[in-house]
Amino acid sequence: MPCMSRSLPTPLRWLPSIIMMGLIFFFSSLPASRIPYFGSVDLLVKKGGHAMGYALLATSYYFALPPRLSTRYRWLTSLLMALLFALSDEFHQSFVQGRTSSLRDVVIDGVGAFVALTLVAGYSSNSRSNSSS
- Is position 75 within any domain? yes
CB-count burial class (<10 Å; 0-12, 13-18, 19+) for 69: exposed
- Is position 131 within any domain? no
pLDDT score of 127: 56
* Mean pLDDT, the chain, whole residue set: 91
Provide φ and ψ at 4, rounded to 5°.
Answer: -60, -35
Say how many domains are in the chain: 1
**pTM recorded for the entire structure:** 0.88
- In whole angstroms, give the CA distance from residue 113 to residue 110: 5
- Is position 133 within any domain? no
Res 86 pLDDT > 90: yes
Q: Which domain holds residue 83?
A: 6-126
State pLDDT tens for residues 87-122: 999 999 999 999 999 999 999 999 999 999 999 998
- Is position 112 within any domain? yes
State pLDDT tens for residues 21-66: 999 999 999 999 999 999 999 999 999 999 999 999 999 999 999 9
CB-count burial class (<10 Å; 0-12, 13-18, 19+) for 68: exposed
- Is position 78 within any domain? yes
Amino acid (one-letter) located at 128: R
